[in-house]
């Protein structure tokens, strides 16, 4: 067998294969749509807050992972008098995103934060379940997540650079 790049010309053949071998997941048009771009499987949605519509003070951008029935936080921030702050200052936006996700029938709201300030930061991770079980941090945004129903669902090692990991968080919506 040989490996070929997926090109626009070959998408119909691959879509036919997908719909033939797994029709309960893809019909031909759905396979074409998924292979042709992200609109069928990933969309973005976001909100911002401010004293008025013309003066944003904070924002949240999420990815809708349609195939996984999940909403995932892509990026966010809050201007606290010129100082960048994270999720714990964006409660109203996080609640809006969660309500949106529930309204769309999504089952999970996911996010992630860097390992900066965590007990695993700068370390090589050989045993991820152990690292999750012993994970500690005094970061205010981490504790905000936990207080609002999120839990650690994984760790992506070396996500940013060697020793700089991503803590994956999730909240069940059902």
Angstrom distance (rounded) from CA 88 to CA 41? 29
pLDDT in tens, 23-69: 998 899 989 988 887 666 788 899 998 888 888 889 999 999 988 99
Architecture of the domain made up of 42-172: 3-Layer(aba) Sandwich (3.40)
For 140, list phi and psi in degrees, rounded to 5.
-65, -35
> What pTM value is reported for the model?
0.82
CA distances in angstroms from 158 to 7, 130, 161, listed in the order given: 31, 16, 5
Per-residue pLDDT tens for 12-33? 999 999 999 999 988 999 899 8
Question: Exposed/middle/buried for 59, CB within 10 Å: 0-12, 13-18, 19+?
Answer: middle
Instruction: Please say whether the beta carbons of 44 and 63 come within 8 A.
Output: yes
CB atoms within 10 A of CB 147: 9
DSSP single-letter state for residue 163:
T
**Cα–Cα distance measured from residue 137 to residue 30, given in angstroms and rounded to the nearest whole number:** 43
In the chain, which segments carry CATH 3.40.630.30?
42-172
């Amino acid at each position: 067998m040989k490996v070929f790049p997926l090109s626009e010309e070959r998408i119909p053949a691959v879509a036919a294969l997908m719909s033939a071998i797994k029709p309960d997941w893809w019909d031909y048009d759905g396979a074409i749509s998924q292979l042709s771009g992200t609109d069928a499987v990933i969309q973005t949605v976001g909100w911002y807050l401010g004293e008025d519509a013309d003066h944003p003070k904070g924002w949240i951008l999420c990815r809708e992972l349609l195939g996984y029935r999940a909403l995932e936080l892509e990026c966010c921030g809050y201007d606290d008098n010129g100082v960048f702050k994270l999720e714990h200052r964006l409660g109203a936006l996080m609640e809006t995103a969660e309500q949106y996700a529930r309204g769309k029938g999504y089952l999970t709201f996911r996010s992630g934060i860097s390992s900066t300030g965590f007990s695993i930061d700068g370390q090589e991770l050989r045993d991820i379940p152990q690292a999750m079980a012993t994970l500690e941090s005094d970061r205010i945004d981490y504790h905000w997540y936990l207080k609002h129903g999120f839990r650690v669902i994984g760790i992506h090692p070396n996500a940013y650079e060697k020793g700089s990991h991503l803590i994956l968080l999730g909240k069940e919506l059902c």
